[in-house]
Amino acid sequence: MDKVCFDNVKMNMEVMFCLFLLFMVSVVEAKQGMSLSAQKLEVQKHLNRLNKTPIKSIKSPDGDIIDCVNMSHQPAFDHPLLKNHTLQMMPNYHPEGLFRNGKMSKANTKNEGSNSITQLWHLNGKCPEGTIPIRRTKKDDILRASNMKSYGRKNKHSTIAKPQSGRPGLVSQTGHQHAIAYVEGDKYYGAKATINVWEPKIQQPNEFSLSQIWLLGGSFDSDLNSIEAGWQVSPDLYGDNNTRLFTYWTSDAYQATGCYNLLCSGFIQINNEIAMGATINPLSSYHGSQYDISILVWKDPKEGNWWMQFGNDYVLGYWPGFLFSYLTDHATMVEWGGEVVNSESDGLHTTTQMGSGHFPDEGFGKSSYFRNVQVVDDSNNLRAPQDLEIYTEDNSCYDVQLGKNNDWGSYFYYGGPGRNPNCP
Handedness of CA 42, 45, 49, 51 (dihedral sign): positive
Residue 9 reports pLDDT greater than 90: no
- Residues tagged active-site: 228, 339
**DSSP labels for 210-268?**
EEEEEEEES-SSTT-EEEEEEEEE-HHHHSS---EEEEEEESSTTSSS--BTTSSS--E
Q: Does residue 185 form part of some domain?
A: yes
pLDDT category at 14 given cuts 50, 70, 90 is: low
Q: Residue 271 CA to chain centroid, in angstroms?
A: 19
Q: Does residue 33 form part of some domain?
A: no
Domains in the chain: how many in total? 1
Q: Which of 89, 92, 113 is nearest to 102 (CA)?
A: 113
Q: What CATH code is carried by the domain that includes residue 245? A: 2.60.120.1270
Q: Does residue 210 form part of some domain?
A: yes
Which residues are CB-neighbours of 111 under 8 A, at least 6 positions away? 407
Question: Global pTM?
Answer: 0.87
DSSP structural state of residue 380:
S
Q: Tens digits of per-residue pLDDT, 318-353?
A: 999 999 999 999 999 999 999 999 999 889 999 999
Q: Residue 144 CA to chain centroid, in angstroms?
A: 16
Q: Does residue 179 form part of some domain?
A: yes
Q: What percent of the chain has pLDDT over 70?
A: 83
Q: Does residue 362 form part of some domain?
A: yes
Q: Does residue 421 form part of some domain?
A: no
Q: Which of 29, 25, 26 is nearest to 37 (CA)?
A: 29
C-alpha–C-alpha distance, residues 34 and 24, integer Å = 15
- Alpha-helix runs per DSSP H in 120-187: 139-144
Q: Which domain holds residue 306?
A: 51-415
Beta-strand (E) ranges in 142-203?
Answer: 176-188, 190-196
Q: Does residue 44 form part of some domain?
A: no
pLDDT for position 21: 65
Q: Does residue 383 form part of some domain?
A: yes
pLDDT for position 22: 65
Residue 265 reports pLDDT greater than 80: yes
Q: Residue 232 CA to chain centroid, in angstroms?
A: 6
pLDDT for position 312: 87
Between 307 and 222, name the one with better pLDDT.
307
Q: Tens digits of per-residue pLDDT, 153-166?
A: 887 666 677 775 44
Question: How distant, in Å, are the alpha carbons of 156, 314, 340 from that of 93?
Answer: 35, 15, 35
| Average of per-residue pLDDT across 46-58 | 93
